[in-house]
Structure 1
Amino acid sequence: MKPFTRRTASTAAPAPPTAGLAAAVAPASVEVTPRMLRVGDGYAATLVVTGYPAEVGPAWLEPLLSWPGRLDLALHIDPLPAPIAAKRLRTQRARFESSRRADTEKGKLADPYVEAAADDAADLAGRLARGAAKLFRVGLYLTVHARTETELLDACAQVKAAAASTLIEVQPATWRHLPGWTTTLPLATDSLQMLRTMDTQALAAAFPLASADLPAPLPGDPATNGGVLYGINPDSSGIVWWDRWAQENHNSVVLARSGAGKSYFVKLDVLRNLYSGVVVSIVDPEDEYLRLADAVGGTVVRLGQPGVKINPLDLPVGDTRPDVLTRRGLFLHTFVAVLLGHQPPPTERAALDRAILAAYRSAGITADPATHHRPAPLLADLATTLRADADPAATQLAARLAPWTEGSFSDLFDAPTSTRPEGHLVVWSLRHLPDELRTVGTLLALDSIWRSVDTPGNRRLAVRRLVVVDEAWLLMRDGEGARFLFTMSKAGRKRNSGLSVITQDVADVLGTDLGMAVVSNAATQILLKQAPQAIDAVGDAFGLTVGERRMLLAARTGHGLLVSGSNRTAFESIGSPSEHALATTKPSELLDLDDPDDPDDDGEDL
């Protein structure tokens, strides 16, 4: 016979699937004291809500959720079955009625608190019987965190004061701070069981659990690793960090009255995007971005200066697509319409189309990409072709174009393009252009920028590009210019580029269909201080609440509202001392800085 072999079974329990995660995220140590916990390098204390107001309004937890500090709020909800709820409510009503009868028999005056509680219980019993309400057992707990013991005591006092502002009474979980801490962790376990019965209406008023800060990514969503600092939240002292490149489109719109700080905010946004490797092009009507260009080694194109020429008939360099000439002809139709201030009549448009093709043929340029390297005709050549046309409409159109081909405004167009700017930052300065040419200058700058964005091949998709149009009302007041800007806002996302539209003339943007379309195609919307005359239009367009409208009317310089879909938060633009020196436009501060009009202080002037 073979002896039996005895085997000893292992009694070690298998490790739970979350053991590795718990070991990674759990604090190194937890020290328990009667008044607080020491969790790792910080301190924590739990407060239990023991008293509630008699009546609550919508978002009655907002004062606690917006407290400017680290606060974990846990709301444990346990529904009561209808039979149990009805039985407990009958018992409670019987107690109230017994107290009232006892006071009456003894000749005492009725207790107003008992009378109010009895009436509330009777009303709740009626709604419960009709199915209009349900009862829940609710526990509300707050865990306050701080770096030191002294800071924790101060933080707890502030939280108590915030709770008292809404008639909520809180008490510390003395000797029970460890169960209180675990109760506020995302474990769905109530270790304190300090519960209060609430009905559906009171509980629903606590939702949504709103916060003044932007929401964090939902569980399962990838964490964003990009974005730039927009500023701080004045309500919660939290950081407002926003990534325009992670939104459904990369466009933004900034609306504010003059002096509200919109240029300051945009300069900070440009600087911080440059840090991230974004290529930026800026249309600058008032030379506000020249110090910034000088600081980062950017390029400045001064339209209107002697020797600076732009030929609107230039073909895109390196673009070999078969429809290049057709698309250039369409742009020239837009260009002429902006020059004239309106769309020419059909007969003149037909004559213009014939003249465009004839002018390119005269220069030896056809639809064949092999001919596109030849020098392009000038605007004066186009006018000569129009005058040679036997159609009276062509002659009339040539006469209407005379100021820009041979008259007072021809200096910008009377020679081949003098520069093709490149670099990580290009600023198109319009300050030296006369007012009559600023709209045209903006269009030509955007056209040059768009040609750099709309290049064939996949290599362009590897570089993010940001196009900033300051004082966009120059284009928005013109129908064809607004249509060109709208096209850029629609097509930029597919080319990994974003458009930033900045304007102080809200009426020009919100008062037209194209302007509203540009705003609608901006996933990032920035509203700074608004004028009383424009607040109704802004509020209706962006769906602002009464409180948000009041905030924008009374906002200080640099304070505003970030709106993106359902997300909205207040913010204050802040910059480091070096950033502030580049972004400020206050005359008192500019006296201590270099003169921005000095050509020797700018970037590469072209």
Structure 2
Amino acid sequence: MTDVGSLLDVAGPESLEVHARALAIGAHLATTLVVTGYPAEVTPGWLAPLLNFPGHLDIALHIEPVPNPVAAAGLKKQRARLESGRRAGFTKGHLDDPEVEAAAADAAELAYRIARGEGKLFHVALYLTVHAPDEETLADQAAAVRAIAESLLMTVAPTTYRALPGWLATLPIGIDTLKIRRTFDTAALAACFPFTSPDLPLPTGAEGGDPGVLYGLNVVSGAPVLWDRFAQDNYNSITLARSGAGKSYLTKLELLRLLFTGVTASVIDPEDEYVRLAETVGGHVVALGADGVRLNPFDLPPSTPDGEDVLTRRVLFLHTFLAALLSTDLSAAEKAVLDKAILAVYTSAGVTADPRTWQRTPPTLADLATTLAEDGTDTATALADRLAPYTTGSHAQLFNGPSTAATTGHLVVFALRQLPEEVKAPAMLLALDAIWRQVTSRTRPGRHLVVVDEAWLLMRDGAGARFLFRMAKAARKYWTGLAVVTQDADDVLASPLGRAIVSNAATQILLRQAPQAIEVISENFHLCHGEREFLLSAGRGEALLLTGDRRHKVALISVAAPGEHEVITTDPGELAAQNRDDAPQADGRFHDELPGDEGGEWAP
């Protein structure tokens, strides 16, 4: 038979020395604090700062239910005591005591909830045991825990001459050796237990095994923040921040890490911020606005799903594209004339409703202008004149003619920096359409991400906003996520289409916000006071990650490895330093080469 004493010897410490307020447990010290006072109002998870204390802290919450008959009798006595005090004060001509009035009202409400079975009473005790290797560190750690507790409006006291029972009360044996308790109702207890953590739940991935990618570190606990957009209800995201807050940096960081997991991607890049990333990973850059780079808006998809009327869909898109190109909403008469002309130019090119003709060479914008001019009506002639800059004028090389750029690859970046501001919105729309045609005509299924940076350029245009909204609604059907990145919250949140795009994003990322925009952000994303203050004071790269169902929120700071940072940074000072390091000197050497490096080890 095994000796019980020997088992206890193994489980317990080698020695135990009891002092007035501390214990020497083996080679370290411990002291216990008792919570004797609680705040009047709390929110769920209010004990999380204690749970995330960086030192060695044991927290024990002892809960003992009170039988309903006992609770009802106790509340009846408490109500009678309060009522008698009120009446005694009234007969003596005293003014009402607000604290007594509030306590009486709370006791009455609680008594009715217990009588209806809507709640129960519990005896609750909360103990905190701090561990440290020496007396000085123990005093510092205990003071830090006391400061956190007092910041939560709790009152704590040391277990003077009861250090041993206090330590035993925080051991995982479920025995309350101190019994310094307060009475809680169900709602108050639910706010305390279970403890909530500022960390997101561990992702399981879309296929059960992929845990997502690293977004950064939790600013509260320092734990890694892993997130998988493809494991959410939809794969879309919205990223809002003021200029310079790090929104593009965080987006590029996620994109780079997703590429390592086999995700393919397409990027609308108005400022050429993703070009270096694409060149590093072997992606393809389509520099719209450069000589000889052109996309034909009349192109049909390379392959078509069975039963889908691709030609009709193409005609509808051309209405949207031409409205964006002409920077106006077309009237009913103009739409009728355009529809007739578009169908006519497709017929002239031999493209009809027969799917066998959809692989023929499509018409061009100049063919449409010619057909409109031949129509002879005032509306058609006016439309042809308005198309002249894009068919024979300054922008003809961008929109008029057959497509000259390939739009396939594991990463395709549409770089728009060389384009004038006046045509960036229609060019973005044309690039988005090229991406969408590739997504919907893929023969091999796979996860795909579409990034639209500086989306405000497109959102300020009604036709562009509608196209982006339709993509946000339909992307999930093709295992595709839409990542909208913008610095202008008003362009997104001020319109019904913009708010609909936000509501269709299961991943929502907010970085530092301007004071002028924080009210709109707070209202639309339902932020509390602490979250507002965090966004107003956040440093570069600090962000608030929200899930679309609002159940989980986490504050994080993006972190990148040196190799990742070198690829994705767009800081002008860092890029200038890299260019200086890469530039050859007068003797042909680079700056990082030392004299004598030509053939072997350099020695002074």
Map residues 81-100 of structure 1 onto 2, 5 A cutoff. 81-85=67-71
Q: What is aligned with 1:67?
A: 53
| Alignment partner, residue 182 of structure 1 | 172
Q: Tell me the residue number matched to 2:315.
A: 329
What letter corresponds to residue 182 of structure 1 in structure 2? P
Report if aligned partners of 1:68, 1:237 keep a CA contact under 8 Å in 2.
no
C-alpha change, 1:197 and 1:124, in structure 2 (3 Å) is: farther
SS of the equivalent of 2:577 reads coil
Would you say the 8 A contact 2:32–2:166 is kept in 1?
no
Deviates more, 1:504-513 or 1:557-566: 557-566
Which sections of structure 2, spanning at least 5 residues, go unmatched? 1-9, 17-22, 80-98, 584-604
Q: How far did 1:591 drift?
A: 1.4
Alignment partners' CA distance in 2, 1:485 and 1:75: 50
Q: 8 Å contact 2:288–2:419 — kept in the other structure?
A: yes
Following superposition, the deviation at residue 528 of structure 1 comes to: 0.8
- Report the residue type matching 2:329 in the other structure: Q
CA distance in 1 between counterparts of 2:186 and 2:517 reads: 38
Q: Which residue number in structure 2 is paired with residue 140 of structure 1?
A: 126
- The 1:37–1:441 alpha-carbon spacing in structure 2 relative to 1, beyond 3 Å, is farther
Residue matched to 2:403: 417
Distance of 1:548 and 1:467 partners within structure 2: 29
CA spacing shift, 1:191–1:212, aligned 2, 3 Å = closer
The answer to whether the aligner puts 1:503 opposite 2:486 as a matched pair is yes
1:464 maps to 2:447: yes
Distance 2:432 2:136 in 1: 57
Q: Does 1:51 align with 2:35?
A: yes
Q: Does 1:450 align with 2:436?
A: yes
246, 250, 253: which one aligns with 2:238: 253
Q: Match for residue 331 of structure 2?
A: 345
Distance 2:34 2:207 in 1: 38
Change (3 A) 1:169 1:455: farther
> Which residue, out of 364, 372, 388, partners 1:378?
364
- 2:300 and 2:111 map into 1 onto residues whose CA distance is 78
**Structure 1 stretches lacking a partner, 5+ long:** 1-28, 94-116, 184-188, 599-606
1:215-235 Cα distance to aligned partner (Å, 9 max, x none): 43699x997742111111222
Q: Assess if the C-alpha contact under 8 Å between 2:203 and 2:226 holds in 1.
A: no
Deviation at 1:125, TM superposition (A): 7.5
Aligned partner of 1:197 in structure 2 is: 182
CA offsets, 1:473-497, max 9 Å, x none?
A: 1110000000000011000111111
The residue type paired with residue 360 of structure 2 is R
Partner secondary structure for residue 138 of structure 1? strand
Q: 1:173 to 1:393 in 2, by over 3 A?
A: farther
Contact 2:33–2:129 under 8 Å retained in 1: no
User: Structure 1, residues 366-417: CA drift from partner, whole Å, max 9, x if none?
Assistant: 1112112211111101111111224332222111111111111111123211
**Conserved in 1, the CA contact under 8 Å of 2:213 and 2:227?**
yes
Q: 8 Å contact 1:301–1:428 — kept in the other structure? A: yes
Q: Greater shift after overlay, 227-236 or 57-66?
A: 57-66
User: What amino acid is the match of 2:288?
Assistant: L
Q: Note the C-alpha offset of 1:121.
A: 9.8
Counting only pairs closer than 5 Å after superposition, residues 101-500 of structure 1 correspond to structure 2 as 135-142=121-128, 158-165=144-151, 166-169=154-157, 171=159, 174=164, 180-183=170-173, 189-190=174-175, 192=177, 194-200=179-185, 203-204=188-189, 206-207=191-192, 211=196, 213-216=198-201, 225-319=210-304, 321=306, 322-455=308-441, 459-460=444-445, 463-500=446-483
Q: CA RMSD in A?
A: 3.9
* Paired position in structure 2 for 1:586: 571
Amino acid at match of 1:490: K
Alignment correspondent of 1:546 = 529
Change (3 A) 1:81 1:401: same
TM-score (norm 1): 0.78
Question: Relative to 1, partners in 2 of residues 1:479 and 1:86: Cα closer, same or farther, differing over 3 Å?
Answer: closer
Q: Is the 8 A contact 1:303 1:428 kept in 2?
A: yes
Q: Which has the larger displacement, 390-399 or 48-57?
A: 48-57
Q: Confirm or deny: 8 A CA contact 2:29 2:132 kept in the other structure.
A: no
**What is the alpha-carbon distance in structure 1 between the residues aligned to residue 333 and residue 111 of structure 2?**
78
**How far did 1:236 drift?**
2.4
Instruction: Name the CA distance, whole Å, in 2 between partners of 1:591 and 1:218.
Output: 39
- Aligned in 2, Cα 1:397/1:143: closer, same or farther, shift over 3 Å? farther
Q: Deviations over 1:567-605 (max 9, x none)?
A: 112111111111121222222211122499x9xxxxxxx
Question: For the Cα contact (< 8 Å) 2:448–2:481, is it kept in 1?
Answer: yes
- Output the CA distance in 2 between the equivalents of 1:351 and 1:44: 87
- SS of the residue corresponding to residue 337 of structure 2 reads helix
Q: Distance in 1 between matches of 2:571 and 2:454?
A: 18
Cα distance between partner residues in 2 of 1:195 and 1:175: 11
SS at match of 1:514: helix
Q: Secondary structure at the match of 2:413?
A: strand
Bigger mean CA deviation after superposition, 53-62 or 234-243: 53-62
> Partners of 2:107 and 2:239 in 1: how far apart?
53
Q: Secondary structure at the match of 1:316?
A: coil
| Paired residue type of 2:524 | A
2: CA distance between counterparts of 1:92 and 1:434? 76
Q: TM-score, normalized by length of structure 2?
A: 0.79
Which segment is superposed worse, 561-570 or 486-495? 561-570
Helix, strand or coil at the partner of 1:58: coil
| Distance in 1 of aligned mates of 2:462 and 2:67 | 64
- State the distance in 2 between where 1:251 and 1:326 align: 27
AA partner of residue 52 (structure 1) = T
- What is the letter of the counterpart of residue 401 of structure 1? L
Quick one: structure 1 residues 91 and 252, their matched pair in 2 at CA, closer, same or farther if it must change by over 3 Å? closer
2-structure distance, mates of 1:121, 1:393: 77
Q: Which moved more, 1:137-146 or 1:405-414?
A: 137-146
Shift of residue 424 of structure 1? 1.5
Deviation at 1:251, TM superposition (A): 0.5
CA contact (8 A) 2:514 2:536 kept: yes
**Deviation string for 1:539-570 (max 9, x for gaps)?**
11111112221221121111121111221121
- In 2, distance between residues paired with 1:54 and 1:251? 42
